[in-house]
Amino acid sequence: MSFETWVFDLDNTLYPASSSLFPQIHKRMGLYIAQALKVDAATADALQRKYYREHGTTLRGLMLTHQIEPDEFLAYVHEIDCTVLPPAPRLDAALGRIPGRKIVFTNGSLKHAENVLNQLGLSHHFHGMFDIKAANYIPKPALETYSRMIEQFDFDPEKAVMFEDLAHNLAAAKQLGMTTVWVKEEGHSFADGPDPEDVSYIDHVTDDLAGWIDDWLAKYWPAN
């Protein structure tokens, strides 16, 4: 429980899944698919979910199946109103007390991560960000992407902890030696379906990220 590196997913992890931010992204994905592939809304929605299930992200499925240009897609789907997110003073305070480096690891774009972190008032805490372009557009949960992220930031995964709202994205982190924390919000409609039957790769579960960090600090870093 002595962590040197703290790895955070972005969407629905550093802000509540119940916010109205990710539904905007979900809606714009559907609109993009309908326009790009010239299909109706129902077909676009079905393809969006199919590609997400089969490829880890809708974008990856569109790239492989329809040769969609990724940067154009990302720019379109992340053209959203981030002001629906209130600042996060509790999380700001908790992150400020954490020892070690903090990294954002997202299947979204760098620009989207910057917009979200700026709105939350959390940008100043993070040593770096690893986005989908840095991953060569190969999304979590692909093991090679985690390995690429670890190599880029040059840290020991056995001295790292990773936070994610999607349980299956923690399996590769655990395989590489990280401590895993599932940030699970009840009623999260954009999660990866029912709770996984095999949770052996999940070390901790919380519905309060700031609270979990505060508890860890009180137990393992009481001087701060």
**Token representation of residue 168:** 């299956």
Q: What confidence tier does 73 reach under pLDDT thresholds 50, 70, 90?
A: very high
For the chain, where do the domains classified as CATH 1.10.150.450 start and end? 22-77
187 pLDDT above the threshold of 70 = no
State the Cα–Cα distance between residues 123 and 101, nearest whole angstrom.
Answer: 13
Predicted confidence at residue 199, as pLDDT, reads 84
The CATH superfamily assigned to 5-18+86-220 is: HAD superfamily/HAD-like (3.40.50.1000)
For the chain, where do the domains classified as CATH 3.40.50.1000 start and end? 5-18+86-220
pLDDT over 70 for what percent of the chain?
A: 94
Phi and psi for 7 in degrees, rounded to 5?
A: -110, 125
State the Cα–Cα distance between residues 193 and 204, nearest whole angstrom.
Answer: 19
91 pLDDT above the threshold of 50 = yes
Q: Which CATH class is domain 22-77?
A: mainly alpha
